[in-house]
């Protein structure tokens, strides 16, 4: 069964180092919370708000041991005027037997407001 695992994080600045660091932190916590291995992941979609232009957050996946061949793609969020700023969102498509309600979605660094009903993870 393929399940979607959601996550999001915000950054303070639009610069490559901060975007990569924050994205890697988010991905690593998503991996840990859901006990995922790279070969279980069909693909990962990243979106960023229009105020983040310095780099592709998907580059962060390449820094994680064993995740080199996971297909990744980046897109821009719809620029809704009241949306959370400087936000990186992630949707992982994971092959798992975990039931939908037991998937651990991860929201960090101010992104918790996006889905407080789903953010049931331990904060790092």
Cite the active site residues: 6, 62, 74, 77, 89, 107, 115
Instruction: Tell me the C-alpha distance between 48 and 8, whole Å.
Output: 10
Instruction: Tell me the C-alpha distance between 78 and 87, whole Å.
Output: 12
Is residue 100 classed as helix, strand or coil in its secondary structure? helix
Instruction: Tell me the C-alpha distance between 80 and 69, whole Å.
Output: 33
Contacts of 117 (CB under 8 A, 6+ apart): none
DSSP 16-47: HHHHHHHHHHHHHHHHHHHT--GGGEEEEEEE
């Amino acid at each position: 069964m393929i399940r979607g695992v959601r996550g999001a994080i915000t950054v303070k600045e639009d610069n490559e180092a901060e975007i990569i660091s924050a994205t890697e932190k988010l991905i690593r916590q998503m991996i840990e919370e859901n006990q995922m291995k790279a070969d279980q992941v069909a693909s990962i979609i990243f979106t960023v708000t229009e105020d983040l232009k310095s780099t592709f957050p998907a580059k962060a996946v390449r820094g994680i041991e064993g995740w080199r061949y996971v297909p990744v793609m980046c897109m821009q969020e719809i620029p809704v005027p009241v949306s959370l700023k400087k936000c990186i969102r992630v949707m992982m498509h994971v092959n798992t037997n975990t039931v939908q309600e037991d998937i651990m979605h991860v929201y960090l660094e101010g992104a918790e407001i996006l889905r407080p009903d789903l953010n049931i993870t331990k904060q790092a």
